[in-house]
Amino acid sequence: MLKSRISEMERARRISEIMVQDALVFCGMAGDAVRYHRVNRLQIGGKGAYARGFPVAEVTVSVSPQPGSSQESRAQRPLRIALFGFGTVGSSVARILVESRPQGLELTHIFNRGVERKRVDWVPASVVWSDDADGVIGSGVDVVVELAGGMEPAGGWVRRALEAGKSVVTANKRLIAFHGVELERLAAVQGGHLKYGAAVAGGIPVIPGLEQGLAGDRIDRVEGILNGTCNFILSKMEDGADYAAVLKQAQQAGYAEADPIEDVGGFDARAKLSILMRLALRVEVDPEEIVPRPITDVSPVDFSYAHDLGCTIRQVARAEKSQGGVAATVGPMLVAVRSPLAWSRGTENMVILSGHYGGDVVFSGHGAGGHPTAVAVVSDLVALAHGSRRVEVASVPGVVGAEFEVPHYIRFLVKDRPGIVAAITSALAAEKINIRAIVQKPGYPAEALPFVVTVEPCRSSALKRALESVRALDCMIAEPLDLQMLE
């Protein structure tokens, strides 16, 4: 790989068009997003170089390896793989590499802190076990597989590996959600690859599906169940279980952390949604702009009312392009029992991608677990070994500025007295929100009476304003619970 900068191109100012081989160009004007493209020709004008009509800020020219070079010899041997993190997913990846021996892949290093306690006898003796991260990155490995998780030190290992020209495969959704664009750019500059097919929906190939199978469509909407822990809890609650009991069961089964806030608070799903938004909607958003709603506000009575409305409740992550920009949200929602989202039970994940040309495509399967997630990691490695290049996804920075206009379910818990429904209907009317139905099931005490109002499609902000005045009523025992309804 030979690299030269734009200054060298500048010397060719008099040439109106030059041919290059697989040049990586960074284009952008002041204030614009910088995009990179691979091109084979550059136009040189009076003010510098242009590619595909954009001014070029920087160029890296790649030249095919000469016979006998180290690059060519790489093509004749397996990719040397270093695993960083030998936990649930890391040990499953090792297991598949050792048992299935995918062509073109060789496990050479395993890095973990306190590595001696991690050794297992089924890993071949040739594999080096190490607790020196930089020593492994500096060795002759080709791919670092980061499966430790968290932002640091994992982010530092990934950066150093990419800077050293290695490729990286990771399942680390937080790292990719917050730093994916920057890391992909670093990989492209240094001649490596960054793959993260396991970072969203574990073993379900949503990311490869988007990068390849759906690259020809224009995706307008992404909707899915992206957190297996929440799906396990909510589908058990649908069957009558109590939240606290089912959370404990999830923790005992290893589905939920001791501190479950990342999952039940919606933070895990929003990180995954932001990754999907970049790949599917081609919009880069700060994950923190997506305000998640916790599933902890949902109670058994909501499942009972949802059932009467022909629905159940799931934690749904959804994003959509609209005229006002992009809308994105994560939280518990009512989904129709006939909708595919209602079919996914237990720890399953599901993603529905709505294409402008191809219509809806549904992905479903195991969104987590050592083996399913390891399959996605090994599939990324196999793709690297076969030299398959990622389809370039040009995305632009965006803000979550638009709102969904959907029907809502609002559950009130009140100490019954005359005039409550009148107060609610007048607050909704003041925001021009039409009531669809008022449902009150018998059998609840008048001192703590739950009842539900459903409304026609409206913006969450208008509903929020309407509920401001309602929540001040002295009969309200709890905050009204407002859930979007997906039809």
Beta strands in 381-448 (DSSP E): 396-397, 405-414, 435-439
Q: How far is CA 136 from the centre of its chain?
A: 29
Q: In whole angstroms, how large is the CA radius of gyration of the chain?
A: 26
Of the candidate spans 69-77, 171-179, 184-192, 465-473, the one that interacts with ligand NAP by CB under 6 A turns out to be: 171-179
Of the candidate spans 28-36, 94-102, 352-360, 365-373, the one that interacts with ligand NAP by CB under 6 A turns out to be: 365-373
Phi, psi at 299, each rounded to 5°: -120, 165
Of the candidate spans 85-93, 306-314, 435-443, 469-477, the one that interacts with ligand NAP by CB under 6 A turns out to be: 85-93
3-class secondary-structure state, position 459: strand
274 binds ligand NAP (CB under 6 A): no
149 binds ligand NAP (CB under 6 A): yes
346 binds ligand NAP (CB under 6 A): no
Minimum gap (Å) between residue 149 Cβ and ligand NAP: 3
Residues 6+ apart with CB under 8 A from 431: 458, 462, 463, 465, 466
What DSSP character marks residue 446? G
Residue 188 identity: A
418 binds ligand NAP (CB under 6 A): no
Residue 317 identity: A
Among 9, 24, 39, 89, binds ligand NAP (CB under 6 A): 89
Phi, psi at 105, each rounded to 5°: -125, 135
Answer yes or no: are the C-beta atoms of 202 and 349 closer than 8 Å: yes
Among 12, 41, 69, 87, binds ligand NAP (CB under 6 A): 87
92 or 167, CB closer to ligand NAP? Answer: 92
Residues 6+ apart with CB under 8 A from 182: none
Reference 189, options 162, 160, 155; nearest CA is 162
Phi-psi category of 304—alpha, beta or left, where left has phi over 0 and alpha has psi -120 to 50? alpha
Nearest residue to ligand NAP on Cβ basis = 87
413 binds ligand NAP (CB under 6 A): no
199 or 352, CB closer to ligand NAP? Answer: 199
Reference 328, options 284, 368, 296, 393; nearest CA is 284
Minimum gap (Å) between residue 254 Cβ and ligand NAP: 9
Minimum gap (Å) between residue 331 Cβ and ligand NAP: 21
Among 272, 415, 432, 441, which one carries the catalytic annotation? 272
Minimum gap (Å) between residue 117 Cβ and ligand NAP: 8
172 binds ligand NAP (CB under 6 A): yes
What is the spatial distance between Cα 359 and Cα 400, in angstroms, rounded to a whole number?
24
304 binds ligand NAP (CB under 6 A): no
Residue 464 identity: K
Minimum gap (Å) between residue 485 Cβ and ligand NAP: 29
198 binds ligand NAP (CB under 6 A): yes
369 binds ligand NAP (CB under 6 A): yes
Minimum gap (Å) between residue 278 Cβ and ligand NAP: 18
DSSP characters over 52-106: TTEEEEEEE---PPPTTSHHHHHHTSPEEEEEE--SHHHHHHHHHHHHH--TTEE
Residue 396 identity: V
9 or 161, CB closer to ligand NAP? Answer: 161
Minimum gap (Å) between residue 90 Cβ and ligand NAP: 6
163 or 257, CB closer to ligand NAP? Answer: 257
CA dihedral of residues 201, 206, 208, 211 (deg, nearest 10) = -130
What is the spatial distance between Cα 436 and Cα 186, in angstroms, rounded to a whole number?
52
Residues 6+ apart with CB under 8 A from 201: 224, 226, 272, 349, 351, 363, 365, 367
321 is catalytic: no
Of the candidate spans 80-88, 180-188, 418-426, 428-436, the one that interacts with ligand NAP by CB under 6 A turns out to be: 80-88
What is the spatial distance between Cα 189 and Cα 413, in angstroms, rounded to a whole number?
57
What is the spatial distance between Cα 337 and Cα 3, in angstroms, rounded to a whole number?
57
136 or 458, CB closer to ligand NAP? Answer: 136
114 or 419, CB closer to ligand NAP? Answer: 114
Q: Which of the residues 119 through 148 are near ligand NAP (CB under 6 A)?
A: 147-148
Among 39, 51, 168, 171, binds ligand NAP (CB under 6 A): 171
Residue 81 identity: I
113 binds ligand NAP (CB under 6 A): yes
158 binds ligand NAP (CB under 6 A): no
344 or 484, CB closer to ligand NAP? Answer: 344
Minimum gap (Å) between residue 35 Cβ and ligand NAP: 28
Residues that bind ligand NAP (CB under 6 A): 85-90, 112-114, 147-149, 153, 171-173, 198, 202, 368-369, 373
The catalytic residues are: 272
